[in-house]
Amino acid sequence: MESEDRMKVRGITVSLVDFFKRLIFAGLNLLTPLQTGLLVVYYSLRELGGGELWFIDALSYILPWLYLPFIILLPGILFLRRTRLLLILVAIPTTLFLLTYGRLYLPRTSVYSTGPTFSVMTYNVLWTNKQADRVATAIEQHDPDIVGLHEILPSMGAAVEERLAERYPYHKLENSYGILSRFPILNYEFYQLDDGTGSWVQQMVLEIDGHRVNLLNAHPRSPPLEGFHPFGLPLGIPTGFLNQVRDADVRDLLTRIDRLEDPLVVIGDFNLTDQQIMYAPLTSRLKDAHRESGWGMGFTFSRFPSIGLPMWRIDYVFYSADLVALSATTGDYGGSDHRPVIAELSFRELP
């Protein structure tokens, strides 16, 4: 027979296991409804026309990360075989995720095109980035035919331009915007959006193997998050999200896009995710290269560039319907807080 001490130890062990099991059950019972409820409220408000509400717009930046608790909870619910109600509550965010992002993980269908083929890169290099060699290397690694740059200061621009001069004989660097091109620039304009109060746009016509292609390099304004910081703490309580300036830039850009003839390519850091209200008007006129030919979430921007954790996708290569995207990928940060987006485009097959 077991000794009395051994039986006591076993009893304590069983009690601890039972305690932690009950604790896990309590956590699942509490967190699963909260997480599912948050997602349901978010989608409901957005679909009911609340996409312009500041907190819905702000949550749209981090929507993929709202699914993170679900990823943690799902194994516990399945392994512990919790109640049917919890399984239903887990099925809701699963369905929402698949409807929102599932297409990004499906195999891409073949596309057909007639030449020529050309590649485009959009790259926000970051105001404070002084590592011109790393920026140039990030461009050289992918060797695109056209590069659109943002937040590039004159010193950085001069260094990159000099190093890549042989690759890109045609270039325009102006007021923190830059275009490097292997193709001739036939016409060029540089103008400010929103009645002269918004961000700037480089607009040009390129000659690509006998085809005239309109190209716009844009960078709509970033919407600042307002907050209350009690006792001067760095982490505050959000009280507003000033998305009006960004949306005004995008609306003006859409008006100008409607005046242009195809083929058309629009690139840039839009400070906008694919879940925010101004994305739909853009993709009703243009196609998103990552949505059409990329894979996965395609995050391009990081709040923590020192650790290289991309957090959401706000950099785009858009194109008109007479072009097709053969591929879309992201590159290395190169000292920036953005990863460049590189898309290979071609002219659609003629009927």
Give the pLDDT score at 1. Answer: 47
The answer to whether residues 224 and 251 touch, using CB atoms and an 8 Å cutoff, is: no
pLDDT in tens, the chain (351 residues): 456 555 454 545 545 555 555 555 555 556 677 778 889 999 999 988 888 888 899 899 999 998 887 776 666 666 655 567 667 777 888 889 999 999 999 888 777 776 789 999 999 999 999 999 999 999 999 999 999 999 999 999 999 999 999 999 999 999 999 999 999 999 999 999 999 999 999 999 999 988 999 999 999 999 887 766 665 655 556 677 788 999 999 999 999 999 998 899 999 999 999 999 999 999 999 999 999 999 999 999 998 877 888 999 999 999 999 999 999 999 999 999 999 999 999 998 654
CA distance 252 to 216: 13
Which residues 6+ apart lie within 8 Å of 233 measured at CB? Answer: none
- What residue spans of the chain are helical by DSSP H? 4-45, 54-61, 63-66, 68-80, 84-101, 132-142, 154-163, 193-196, 244-257, 279-285, 289-293
**Does pTM surpass 0.85?**
yes
DSSP character string of 130-157: --HHHHHHHHHHH--SEEEEES--HHHH
Give the pLDDT score at 320. Answer: 96
The answer to whether residues 200 and 192 touch, using CB atoms and an 8 Å cutoff, is: yes
CA distance 183 to 263: 15
What 8-state DSSP symbol labels residue 320?
Answer: -
Tokens (6 digits) for 11: 């009893």
CA distance 18 to 198: 61
CA distance 93 to 38: 10
